[in-house]
Chains A and B, each alone.
Chain A
Amino acid sequence: MKNPSLPVTETPMSQGAADALARAGFSRRTFIKGTGAMIVSFSMGGALGTVEAQTRVGAFGLDAAPDSPPANEVDSWIAIASDSSVTAYTGKEELGQGMSTAQMQLVAEELCVPFHRVNLIVADTSLTPDQGVTSGSQSHPTNFNHGNLAGACATAREALLQLGSKHLNIPADQLVAIDATIRSKSDPSKKVAYADLVAGKKFDIKVDPAAKRKPASEWTVLGKPIGRPDMPAMATGTFEYAHNVRVPGMLHGMVIRPSAVGANLMNVDESSVSGMPGFVKVVVKKNFVGVVAEKNWQAVQIARALNVTWSPAPELPKQETFYDHLRNQKPTRDTLLVNSKDVEQRLAEAATVLKATYYHPYQMHGSVGSSCAVADVQGDKATVWSPTQGVWHQRSTLAMLLGLMPENVRVIFRRGSGCYGINGADAVTYDAALLSQAVGKPVRVQLTRKDEMAWENYGFAFVMDERAGLDAQGNIIAWDHEAWSPVLGNRPVYTYPGNVITGFLAGFQPEEFRPRSPAPEPASFSNNSNAIPSYVVGHVGGADHGAGTIKSERALLHNVVSPFWTGPLRSPQRLQNTFAHESFMDELAARAKADPVEFRLRHLSEPRMVDVVKAAAKAANWNARPSPKPRATSAAGIASGRGISCVAYEGDNGYAAMVAEVEVELATGKITVKRLVVANDAGPISNPDGLRNQCEGGALQGLSRALGEEVTWDDHNVTSIDWRTYHSLPVGFAVPKIEIVLLNRPDEPASGAGETAITVVAGAIGNAIFDATGARIRQVPFTPERIKAALAG
């Protein structure tokens, strides 16, 4: 069914957005919908209805929602106001990484307006183009290369030059855009302000992929360490997070999660709380249970007091033997990334064959603030203020959950506590919306610490087998990687509310696990989250796509069903795979009695990888020699060492190398990281201070994950439920010296920058521990017990 052209649904707009639009010269932004397939309605009659709804929405799959502001129209991205200030619209959110600042720099640069005259509207389904999810180190490449926001700005500048040419009666090639005016190159007095050309009007043109971008050599705003405009408000406690959104008439909700993983709701005794102060309602939908109260603290007390009975649940797999369980679990979904089909033969010919297995636990996002959202569902319309990473997937899945038309649901992004991937943001938005729908009033929900930690979508556990052969000269001639990893759920994407806990409890299934074994041969190249080691050629479809020189290669992944929810956690899979590859590369170097830096360079073909490895080694004043270091333990029983690790993030989306210097207290197994040196290449540097901040934070977050973070569980429940049972390094730990070397590549495409540094930390530290002690640690986190066991090894 074709949908008619209609203006966007009238829903209340945030004051900030309304002000921005008013400044931009619009009283109201309206959009003409596209003509794609339109979702008609959802039958919510149980599982069948769910499937039907999913199938229909699936008609446009992962494409942009049909009624989103079209990405190929300049007006979807840019509006110029009567004072020549610019309002830009982006689907890429500010998750705390400085992306809004960088995007404002981009707009200011390409449109030749001062930075402070750019206003940015971020991720609102009624206002901004559908740019999917803000994740996967994709914001920089997506909006800073030649399409989307960058392309729209460049097209707009060219259009302004043409309009200025007409207005001034001067050929466009004799004009220049400066300070929100078009002026003559030869006579600066001949000029016209942007506002006099377009204010309040639409450009009404398509984004031109050929529009000329400003070369980096001419940048005056991009490439500069501009401070974040949100910083003063954050430091003075006035910034509005999702947690601070207050709507007139707003009530407060809390949810009650199952007593055990897999437990079903048996009974809810409303009379246990109905007399409590502020009580409004108990809400039940299948296994979803929540309460609504007039005040927040009342809701907390009512949720604690509510008498709920759950069914017994099956036992969880034992944590002690979980990695064996993973390796043996059936069925599997197998994916083959590269396969030269000669690995066994080459290994048989090798002078030396090395094998090792690496283990990585489930880890959590563990946002410092538990997730929070506000929803206002009244009748057939809903507005939510959500810290979700994907307002559009939140919108379509929330519509499914509430039984509303997606176009009647508006999702407005508000920053939450740093998420690093899919924390509780999507789930809590569903929580608030379900409760709001039940009471017909706006409801705010903030999860408890335990509910945030026990039910989030964890970063993937991994078991990784590595095998490689060395020839007589100590060169690697074949590399085989085989891994097992459990999955359940994901981001909600566009059609799967059941991919996170609330949607599942309310009756939706997660994405179906589709067994497949054996894996088909790779038809096209995919780095598949760095499953492919950096040192192989990555030969698929008649061409080499890898960063290395090893021709005999195989990389195979087995996914199995996870007992816990899983989803992307900063550098998902890339971090785990890279830990294994980089540790194993170090084991190979040691066996070949080669210096770990020289050994890496010998097997790399990608020049940008070579450069980051060299830059990190140089900055660290790397002492070239094989590991381990000739034993030189101090009198205090402390051994010190250094290690290196590197990654071509996703194969070609950013490059990083790290040198770690550590001390190991031999009697206790305690690790102190003294120094981390990071070399990073993210293409052209949009904001060097922002990039440094990302590298520093990534390095320390990686350190915390490498040394202490691990989700634990007992027979029925996750037992990592607070900061005593999940170990994050506090602000005041013995913070190592961190040095960041930024490699600027003005002529390369923009690439990811938020996940490169974190990816190489565990490898660098593990390799430094080996250098210091000769003991190899193959399981994250590197707890003192595990270090001691390795030392005793």
Chain B
Amino acid sequence: MSLLSLKVNGKTHSFDGDPTTPLLYVLSDDLGLRGPKFGCGLGQCGSCTVLVKGQAVRSCITAVESVQGVEIITLEGLGTIDKPHPIQKAFIEEQAAQCGYCLNGVILTAKAFLDKNPKATEKEIQEGMSRVLCRCFTHTRMLRAIGRAKQEMAR
């Protein structure tokens, strides 16, 4: 057990527990966040994605001790219903979801990718999303939303 300091969505939290606990469990169970979700626990599907220093990271296989003190953003930290981030707005406008469970990973993976590749082609976006799963197969809308967000974020 040890006391760790976490910076999540602009707030500092302390976590007192097993430092090898995957970050996802701390975010979901200790901080009560709903954005990052357990999908596979193996880093394969993307549902648990968070942004760590702007990088898309799979929180289900990231020990909490490895991210202490650094800036962590979850989907709810990206924007709110009243003030959504342009990429969240694009997903809402394109109605790019069915069950929505995977949206966390899809949106944050795309966000991190577009930040790094603001002029990405469709093919490059496709490549950037090649490790994220949506089992409702809302892919066409999601890719359209990412394209829309790319234009919006370039402004």
Known: A297-B25, A697-B137, A722-B42. A235 touches B98 (CB 8 A): no
Additional A-B contact list (15), CB under 8 Å, known A232-B81, A696-B141: A96-B100, A230-B100, A231-B92, A232-B84, A232-B92, A234-B100, A235-B107, A236-B88, A239-B100, A246-B32, A297-B17, A449-B42, A697-B136, A729-B137, A733-B126
Q: Which 8 A-B pairs have the closest CB atoms?
A: A96-B99, A237-B35, A732-B129, A237-B75, A234-B100, A418-B99, A700-B137, A732-B130
Separation of A296 and B137 alpha carbons in the complex (Å): 30
- Interchain residue pairs with CB less than 8 A apart (10): A96-B99, A227-B92, A231-B91, A232-B92, A233-B81, A235-B75, A237-B33, A239-B100, A417-B101, A697-B136
Q: Is the interface of A mostly helix, strand, loop or mixed?
A: loop
A529 touches B (CB below 8 Å): no
Known: A237-B74, A722-B42, A731-B142. A369 touches B37 (CB 8 A): yes
Tell me the minimal C-beta distance from B143 to chain A in angstroms: 6
Separation of A520 and B139 alpha carbons in the complex (Å): 46
Are the C-beta atoms of A723 and B45 separated by less than 8 Å? yes
In the complex, which of the residues B28, B92, B126, B135 has the most CB atoms of chain A within 10 Å of its own CB atom?
A: B135
B59 touches A (CB below 8 Å): no
Tell me the minimal C-beta distance from B93 to chain A in angstroms: 8
Are the C-beta atoms of B138 and A693 separated by less than 8 Å? yes
- What residues of A have a CB within 8 angstroms of the CB of B40 in the complex? 370, 449, 722-723
A728 touches B (CB below 8 Å): yes
- What residues of A have a CB within 8 angstroms of the CB of B80 in the complex? 236, 238
Closest residue of chain A to B102 (Cβ to Cβ) is A368
Are the C-beta atoms of B97 and A231 separated by less than 8 Å? yes
Closest residue of chain A to B93 (Cβ to Cβ) is A227
- What residues of B have a CB within 8 angstroms of the CB of A557 in the complex? none
A12 touches B (CB below 8 Å): no
Tell me the minimal C-beta distance from B68 to chain A in angstroms: 16
Tell me which residues from 51 to 94 in chain B have a Cβ below 8 Å from any Cβ of chain A: 74-76, 78-81, 84, 88, 91-92
Complex interface bits, A548-591 against B, C-beta within 8 A gives 1, otherwise 0: 00000000000000000000000000000000000000000000
Choose among B42, B47, B132 the residue that contacts A732 (Cβ–Cβ < 8 A). B132
Choose among A98, A234, A295 the residue that contacts B17 (Cβ–Cβ < 8 A). A295
Tell me the minimal C-beta distance from B138 to chain A in angstroms: 6
Known: A277-B18, A296-B25, A696-B140. A236 touches B84 (CB 8 A): yes
Closest residue of chain A to B32 (Cβ to Cβ) is A246
- What residues of B have a CB within 8 angstroms of the CB of A230 in the complex? 100
A243 touches B (CB below 8 Å): yes
Are the C-beta atoms of B95 and A228 separated by less than 8 Å? yes
Tell me which residues from 687 to 737 in chain A have a Cβ below 8 Å from any Cβ of chain B: 689, 693, 696-701, 703-704, 722-724, 728-735
Known: A236-B79, A724-B44. A244 touches B143 (CB 8 A): no
Closest residue of chain A to B28 (Cβ to Cβ) is A296
Tell me the minimal C-beta distance from B16 to chain A in angstroms: 11
Separation of A728 and B137 alpha carbons in the complex (Å): 10
Closest residue of chain A to B26 (Cβ to Cβ) is A297
Tell me the minimal C-beta distance from A493 to chain B in angstroms: 24
Choose among B33, B38, B79, B141 the residue that contacts A693 (Cβ–Cβ < 8 A). B141
- What residues of B have a CB within 8 angstroms of the CB of A732 in the complex? 125-132, 143
Tell me which residues from 94 to 147 in chain B have a Cβ below 8 Å from any Cβ of chain A: 95, 97-104, 106-107, 125-143
How many B residues are at the interface, by size bracket?
Answer: 35 or more
Complex interface bits, A287-323 against B, C-beta within 8 A gives 1, otherwise 0: 0000000011110000000000000000000000000
- What residues of A have a CB within 8 angstroms of the CB of B137 in the complex? 696-701, 703-704, 729
Known: A233-B81, A730-B129. A693 touches B98 (CB 8 A): yes
In the complex, which of the residues B75, B100, B141 has the most CB atoms of chain A within 10 Å of its own CB atom?
A: B100
A738 touches B (CB below 8 Å): yes
Are the C-beta atoms of A236 and B78 separated by less than 8 Å? yes
A128 touches B (CB below 8 Å): no
In the complex, which of the residues A231, A243, A704 has the most CB atoms of chain B within 10 Å of its own CB atom?
A: A231
Known: A237-B33, A237-B35, A246-B32. A368 touches B143 (CB 8 A): no
Are the C-beta atoms of B101 and A418 separated by less than 8 Å? yes
Choose among A96, A246, A703 the residue that contacts B98 (Cβ–Cβ < 8 A). A96
A420 touches B (CB below 8 Å): yes
Tell me the minimal C-beta distance from B7 to chain A in angstroms: 17
Tell me the minimal C-beta distance from A38 to chain B in angstroms: 36
Tell me which residues from 410 to 440 in chain A have a Cβ below 8 Å from any Cβ of chain B: 415-418, 420
Are the C-beta atoms of A370 and B39 separated by less than 8 Å? yes
Separation of A420 and B134 alpha carbons in the complex (Å): 13
Known: A235-B91, A277-B18, A701-B137. A369 touches B39 (CB 8 A): yes
Separation of A698 and B136 alpha carbons in the complex (Å): 8
Tell me which residues from 219 to 259 in chain A have a Cβ below 8 Å from any Cβ of chain B: 227-228, 230-241, 243-244, 246, 252
Known: A236-B88, A446-B38, A734-B126. A368 touches B25 (CB 8 A): no
- What residues of B have a CB within 8 angstroms of the CB of A415 in the complex? 99
Known: A369-B37, A449-B42, A722-B40. A235 touches B132 (CB 8 A): no
- What residues of B have a CB within 8 angstroms of the CB of A95 in the complex? 99
Are the C-beta atoms of B101 and A369 separated by less than 8 Å? yes
Known: A235-B84, A237-B33, A237-B74. A227 touches B133 (CB 8 A): no
B21 touches A (CB below 8 Å): yes
